[in-house]
A and B are shown apart, each in its own frame.
Chain A
Amino acid sequence: MASVVANRSRGIQSLGLKGVDPETCMIVFKNHWAQVVKILEKHDPLRSSGGLSLGGGVHAFRSHGLRHGAIPLDEASAVQNYVEHMLLLLMEEESGVGGAMGPILEFVIMENVMERLFVWSLRRDFTDQSKLEQLKMYETLIGQAKQPLLHHKPILKPLMMLLSSCSGTATGQAGEHELVLLLHQLCCVVSNDPSILELFFHSSEDQGATNFLLFSLLVPFIHRDGVIGQQARDALLLIMTLSNDNQRVATHIAHNTFFCPVLATGLSGLYSSLPAKLDVSSEDWHCIQNDEWQQEPALVHFLNSLEFCNAVMQVAHPSIRDQLVGYIFNGFLVPVLGPALHKLTLEEVMTTTAYLDFFLRAITEPALLHTFLSFVLLHRHDNVHILDTLVSRINTPFQLGTVSLALFRTLIGLYCEDVMLQLILKYLIPCNHMMLSQRRVVNERDCYSVSAAKFLALTPSCCSPDIVAPPIRQLDSITWTKVTDGAQPGTMEKEACSSGQDDSGHSCVIGSEIHLDVSYLHYLYDARNSISKCMRACRIWSAPYDSVTPPPEDKSRPRVTSQALTDVTSSSGVELEWDDSYDAGSSARARQEEEEEANRAAASVANDPPQHIQELRKTATLLIKGSYVEESEFQNDVMVYDLVAQKDTNESADQKHIVSGHVTKDNVGPGNPEDSGETSEIGNGSAQPDVEKQNGVQTEADQNSHDLHAEHDEDDLATQYEELIRILVIEAKSPTRTQQDLRNSIMEEEEDVDFSTLSAETPEAEKSPSPFKTKPHSGSINHAIPFTGPFMSVLLSRLENMLENSLHVNLLLTGILAQLAAYPQPLLRSFLLNTSMVFQPSVRSLYQVLASVKNQIEQLAVKQKDFPALLLAAQQCLLARETSVTLQGDSLSAGKNVKIRSVQPKMVVPSHRTEVYATVVFTEFLKELAAITQEHSILSYSPMEE
């Protein structure tokens, strides 16, 4: 019936009733109604009046079975025809003068037309079909009426009855669609005219219903896929917006509905249907890109709901927002995402990390970000901070490491004070990382580009701007223009003469041509944008972080002194096995422990999650050739690997790789094609002769760099030692770690000590006395132990190994460091960029690490004959890549590190020659850092200024 009305009305609209006299319309309407009433009354069992009591509602009709025999078809269709025309007339009626009701509407209300029609429809067979027709009728009526209808109870009431008949019953797909459509329309009306909202509430009450029908009917569709879901969410958002101004609606939703729990648990449900492992296209893959998620329906579905949460947070009343935040935290993040981040295989963990990164990029609303970030920064899973776990994963050589880097790039890009505080700033605030005298330097600016010059001076000689092949440089080298006109007019010459100086006196004459790297101008430009963007963003931060605010000495912050350390450690009851380890550490024992370590690493993965994480990390870090790691919990793994590396120097590189490959295979187990692929690649790689050679060289380089830092090692170890104790104590104090962890750490500490004795035995290494014999390790130091935090430490550690990193890891890594360097906080800026600052011996600076990389490169360049040619080719490859990247409009990918004009590569550098690509990236990174340093020097001192 109504569908016909709807269709016809659309058709007739063009015809229009505009020319028709309203009085005529009224007469027609009345006549039609009279005819309808005749039929209605004929079949009315009560036959009493038009004013039916509808208090019982629909269900009453149903249960009492008031259907009164069959209604003849011809009568039914007659009613239908009349009603069609009547509705058409009603829709087309304009409201009267001053917004008064039109006569037809008035009549409809007086005669209670809609309600009687609804009852009539009930009396007939009230099927899904007739319900659908009713829904359509109202949808058309409300959508197209030219005067407001819903204010009038005689229209609203039957509508509400219809809606309440829809609740809780399956109405079929068409019915659902129509229902949501109508609800959406009603929400639109309500949001345009909030006064109607009250009526909706009242009419609910009339029926004894405590729920806000309009709303509760929509809730089941929240997570629905496709158009219905979208429409329902749009409609709900309209109500959410209303809730912000209407306390009653807000309270109702927060207290009487399951909206928030449904929303949050729905996320969990949708999350569980996401693929546990992503089909990763290549080794370079590090995050979920736009074109990727759109092809994964489950991800699209999840994102729709997540974005809806985001939108709700944006518009809803604070009480709803707060409740939703709580449910998302406790109903999704903690029980679902937390365990997912600690799954059993590398791939699953990697996938979850990529999801987390993706979610963080999708969310924009501060309240929702707050929830996610407090989960990442503060939540503990199995007594380990999620953040610690995530940070430690940066150091895994697998794709997990790359994806983790991408996650941190996202985190750092949020300009969130809390994130930066937890990752870095809290370690810098005490100013322990620098010499006391340096505190006043923190706020100094690099006025004369001294630091910039020092960074650029690290450019390896093979990449020096003077040497680098002309084909690239030529294109973009610019010549400072010779200004012989204009700047040196007659007046100037006169002045020059008058001041008695023969060289023009005022040095405005331009001399010889200087070729400049135009790419550097781009870096300066980018640096300026990046810094000023960051400065703007950081204006809302609570403090400038300038070594004054917050104050380095905070009384409320407990300071860890060595005295306290010994006190607590002795009272903590932990057996301190390291006590006897530093005098007795024999090499046999060291070897034994290596084996144990390897065994443990190779052990089956079917362990409890917390232990498993440890295993995962260990096997992973075993593969890293870490020549340097600052204090951190995985320090020990790298140290152990160093032992292996050093021991293996005498043996062939082949063997080493097979060994490590073996370990991986064992650990990951079968059924992981991705990882076994990686493993076999390592194996194959080592089979190639030139790689073998290269590896040999690299190991030597590592060792050389070790020797370079030999003088630091002593201090380093001592402080590392102290640091470990400190960590242990803190953990013992606040039971954040399991006994197992403690024990592990202590065992690793043992290995740490063993390392020093073993390295003394290795012929290449300089014999140095054990630090613990020369230095008393307790009671002598009264300051907290200098440490710039695990995040900084792991970044620098990966940076130092950049020659072995894949191109993409290096691009990510340098991208993150460049972003960090753009932060205007003097503490961070001075730590990263001030090359003249004096730090505590145990603290490695970015500059030192870069210097170490430079040395590695210089040594490579000397030893590898094909290095210059490869370098050139790599530059060309990267140029071509950048061009294609720019063409694709891929702004996120870190192509910005390479700012040279496009040249077609003549030869392709094999991707396993990571050191060649790394050298190019390194050189460009130096420029990027120098540019950032220079721009800092001319931008404001601190974000709080100006």
Chain B
Amino acid sequence: MSMNAGRKRSESEEQGGPGDQKASPARPPFGKKQLPTIPKNAVPVTKASSPASATQATNGTHASYGPFYLEYSLLAEFTLVIKQKLPGIYVQPSYRSALMWFGVIFIRHGLYQDGVFKFTVYIPDNYPDGECPKVVFDIPVFHPLVDPVSGELDVRRAFTKWRRNHNHIWQVLMYARTVFYKISTMEPLNPEAAVLYDKDVQLFKSKVVDSVKLCNSHLFDQPRIDDPYAISFSPWNPAVHEEAKEKMFTHKRRPEDQPKGLQVSGLSWVKPGSTLPFSKEEYPLQT
């Protein structure tokens, strides 16, 4: 349901505004900072602060806590993505920066059926006040909206203006998926593909098939970006994968994956539907 809504939105916006502003926005003074996730076993770099750097921030607490705000905004986005359960899309923030997410998309039917496309999401560091995130395919897929050289998907046409609270990264991912099912040729990044699609669908189709084959043939390549959390594929190896597969199929919705010993249980004697304390008749019976 929510998925459909998202699709509709991105489609309507797609038609509404052809985003052609590709110029990079003016970078804020802190433009180049990167926010690493904090790995469990990483040792924080402790360092004596120089008086100069201690006084450089003038806008109160924001300078000190800004990175935390950004980090949590992105974590919140990621939580939303998980909640959406987008079909065929998997993402994972990189180890080094919450601003870079690795992803892969499985196309299950249509022209691009069987395509497995790896991509990277780049989120502007002034998120959520900047431009919309970018989606760059590892291998430029043959598609009217994918730049044949850089592999970048034209996302901006769907999100002409990135509006905080309204736009979310899951919508971008949703859009990246939609593009392969409903092909648009308006103001293409790949004019050749656009023209072919309009003029010679058969040839377009065969090019797409080639492109899908090419992408899938590089599936087992090392990830393009060296990062511990980069998504990498390997051929089926029962010794490694069988167990994981078993787990996936037997996995219950509510597993007891909470650490034992930390079992906390609250108390309630409120009858459902009542707002009076001790409205439940019975004590919870021991099992």
Chain A interface (Cβ within 8 Å of chain B)?
314, 318, 321-322, 366-367, 369-370, 373-374, 377-378, 414-419, 421-422, 425-426, 429, 445, 447-449, 452-453, 456-457, 459, 464-466, 470, 473-481, 483, 486-487, 489, 491-492, 495, 498-499, 501, 503, 505-518, 520-521, 524, 533, 536-543, 550, 554, 557, 930, 934, 937-938
Select from chain B the residue with minimum beta-carbon distance to A444.
B165
Residues of chain B lying within 8 A (CB to CB) of residue A533: 262, 264
Q: Given A378-B278, A470-B51, A934-B72, are A506 and B136 also a contact pair (CB < 8 Å)?
A: yes
Chain A proximity of B81: nearest CB distance (Å): 12
Chain A proximity of B194: nearest CB distance (Å): 20
Q: Given A418-B277, A478-B44, are A370 and B36 also a contact pair (CB < 8 Å)?
A: no
Residues of chain A lying within 8 A (CB to CB) of residue B79: 938
The reply to whether B267 and A477 form a contact with Cβ atoms under 8 Å apart is no
The reply to whether A470 and B49 form a contact with Cβ atoms under 8 Å apart is yes
A724 CA / B86 CA spacing, docked (Å): 54
The reply to whether A418 and B73 form a contact with Cβ atoms under 8 Å apart is no
Q: Given A416-B266, A505-B122, are A938 and B72 also a contact pair (CB < 8 Å)?
A: yes
The reply to whether B31 and A478 form a contact with Cβ atoms under 8 Å apart is no
Q: Is B6 an interface residue (CB 8 A)?
A: no
The reply to whether B24 and A453 form a contact with Cβ atoms under 8 Å apart is no
Q: Given A314-B286, A508-B122, are A418 and B67 also a contact pair (CB < 8 Å)?
A: no
Closest 5 CB pairs of A and B: A511-B32, A415-B266, A537-B266, A418-B277, A510-B34
Question: What are 6 A-B pairs at a CB distance below 8 A?
Answer: A418-B277, A421-B276, A447-B73, A456-B61, A480-B35, A540-B266
Q: Is B284 an interface residue (CB 8 A)?
A: yes
A507 CA / B125 CA spacing, docked (Å): 7
The reply to whether B272 and A542 form a contact with Cβ atoms under 8 Å apart is yes
Select from chain A the residue with minimum beta-carbon distance to B128.
A448
The reply to whether A507 and B266 form a contact with Cβ atoms under 8 Å apart is no
Select from chain A the residue with minimum beta-carbon distance to B57.
A466
Residues of chain A lying within 8 A (CB to CB) of residue B267: 366, 369-370, 373, 414-419, 540
Q: Given A321-B283, A369-B267, A934-B72, are A479 and B34 also a contact pair (CB < 8 Å)?
A: no
Q: Which of B46, B149, B227 contacts A486 (CB 8 A)?
A: B227
Chain B interface (Cβ within 8 Å of chain A)?
24, 27, 30-36, 38, 44-49, 51, 53-55, 57-58, 60-69, 72-73, 75-79, 94, 96-97, 99-100, 120, 122-125, 128, 134, 136, 147, 149-152, 164-165, 224-227, 258, 262-278, 280, 283-286
Q: Given A417-B270, A491-B225, are A938 and B75 also a contact pair (CB < 8 Å)?
A: yes
The reply to whether B285 and A318 form a contact with Cβ atoms under 8 Å apart is yes
Residue of A369, A449, A507, A938 with most partner-chain B CB within 10 A: A507
A470 CA / B51 CA spacing, docked (Å): 8
The reply to whether B270 and A421 form a contact with Cβ atoms under 8 Å apart is yes
The reply to whether B49 and A473 form a contact with Cβ atoms under 8 Å apart is yes
A414 CA / B99 CA spacing, docked (Å): 40
A473 CA / B267 CA spacing, docked (Å): 41
Q: Which of B32, B66, B273 contacts A550 (CB 8 A)?
A: B273
Residues of chain B lying within 8 A (CB to CB) of residue A422: 277
Q: Which of A321, A477, A492 contacts B49 (CB 8 A)?
A: A477
Q: Which of A378, A478, A498 contacts B150 (CB 8 A)?
A: A498
Residues of chain A lying within 8 A (CB to CB) of residue B97: 483, 487, 508
Q: Given A429-B275, A478-B45, A514-B63, are A509 and B266 also a contact pair (CB < 8 Å)?
A: no
Excluding A505-B24, A512-B30, 18 further A-B contacts by CB distance (< 8 Å) are A318-B285, A374-B277, A425-B275, A448-B164, A448-B165, A449-B72, A464-B60, A478-B44, A481-B36, A487-B34, A495-B151, A507-B123, A509-B32, A509-B34, A520-B65, A521-B38, A524-B68, A539-B266
The reply to whether A418 and B53 form a contact with Cβ atoms under 8 Å apart is no
Q: Given A466-B63, A478-B44, A515-B49, are A377 and B277 also a contact pair (CB < 8 Å)?
A: yes
Q: Given A505-B122, A507-B31, are A934 and B286 also a contact pair (CB < 8 Å)?
A: no
Residues of chain B lying within 8 A (CB to CB) of residue A524: 68
Q: Which of A464, A537, A937 contacts B264 (CB 8 A)?
A: A537
The reply to whether A934 and B268 form a contact with Cβ atoms under 8 Å apart is no
Select from chain B the residue with minimum beta-carbon distance to A468.
B54
Chain B proximity of A368: nearest CB distance (Å): 10
Q: Which of B76, B149, B258 contacts A445 (CB 8 A)?
A: B76
A479 CA / B50 CA spacing, docked (Å): 12
The reply to whether A477 and B268 form a contact with Cβ atoms under 8 Å apart is no
A245 CA / B121 CA spacing, docked (Å): 62
Select from chain B the residue with minimum beta-carbon distance to A483.
B96
The reply to whether B34 and A483 form a contact with Cβ atoms under 8 Å apart is yes
The reply to whether A480 and B265 form a contact with Cβ atoms under 8 Å apart is no
A369 CA / B269 CA spacing, docked (Å): 11
Q: Which of B38, B49, B57, B258 contacts A536 (CB 8 A)?
A: B258
Q: Which of A495, A508, A536, A542 contacts B270 (CB 8 A)?
A: A542
A533 CA / B58 CA spacing, docked (Å): 37
Q: Which of B32, B63, B227, B265 contacts A537 (CB 8 A)?
A: B265
Residues of chain A lying within 8 A (CB to CB) of residue B34: 480, 483, 487, 507-511
A452 CA / B24 CA spacing, docked (Å): 30
The reply to whether A491 and B100 form a contact with Cβ atoms under 8 Å apart is no
Q: Which of B24, B31, B265, B285 contacts A540 (CB 8 A)?
A: B265
Select from chain A the residue with minimum beta-carbon distance to B125.
A507
A520 CA / B64 CA spacing, docked (Å): 10
The reply to whether A507 and B49 form a contact with Cβ atoms under 8 Å apart is no
A366 CA / B75 CA spacing, docked (Å): 37
A55 CA / B75 CA spacing, docked (Å): 82
The reply to whether A453 and B150 form a contact with Cβ atoms under 8 Å apart is no
The reply to whether B65 and A518 form a contact with Cβ atoms under 8 Å apart is no
The reply to whether A378 and B277 form a contact with Cβ atoms under 8 Å apart is yes
Chain B proximity of A166: nearest CB distance (Å): 34
The reply to whether B67 and A515 form a contact with Cβ atoms under 8 Å apart is no
Q: Given A457-B60, A505-B122, are A426 and B275 also a contact pair (CB < 8 Å)?
A: yes
Q: Given A377-B277, A418-B267, are A459 and B45 also a contact pair (CB < 8 Å)?
A: no
A101 CA / B44 CA spacing, docked (Å): 73
Select from chain B the residue with minimum beta-carbon distance to A368.
B283
A87 CA / B59 CA spacing, docked (Å): 91
Chain A proximity of B29: nearest CB distance (Å): 9
Chain A proximity of B68: nearest CB distance (Å): 7
A518 CA / B136 CA spacing, docked (Å): 34
A459 CA / B59 CA spacing, docked (Å): 12
The reply to whether B69 and A453 form a contact with Cβ atoms under 8 Å apart is yes
The reply to whether B270 and A489 form a contact with Cβ atoms under 8 Å apart is no
A643 CA / B157 CA spacing, docked (Å): 65
A321 CA / B285 CA spacing, docked (Å): 11
The reply to whether B265 and A478 form a contact with Cβ atoms under 8 Å apart is no
A515 CA / B150 CA spacing, docked (Å): 35
The reply to whether A508 and B69 form a contact with Cβ atoms under 8 Å apart is no
A515 CA / B77 CA spacing, docked (Å): 25
A473 CA / B136 CA spacing, docked (Å): 40
Chain A proximity of B100: nearest CB distance (Å): 5
Residue of B73, B96, B275 with most partner-chain A CB within 10 A: B275
Residues of chain A lying within 8 A (CB to CB) of residue B286: 314
Select from chain B the residue with minimum beta-carbon distance to A371.
B283
The reply to whether B64 and A516 form a contact with Cβ atoms under 8 Å apart is yes
Q: Given A366-B284, A499-B152, are A506 and B122 also a contact pair (CB < 8 Å)?
A: yes
Residues of chain A lying within 8 A (CB to CB) of residue B147: 499
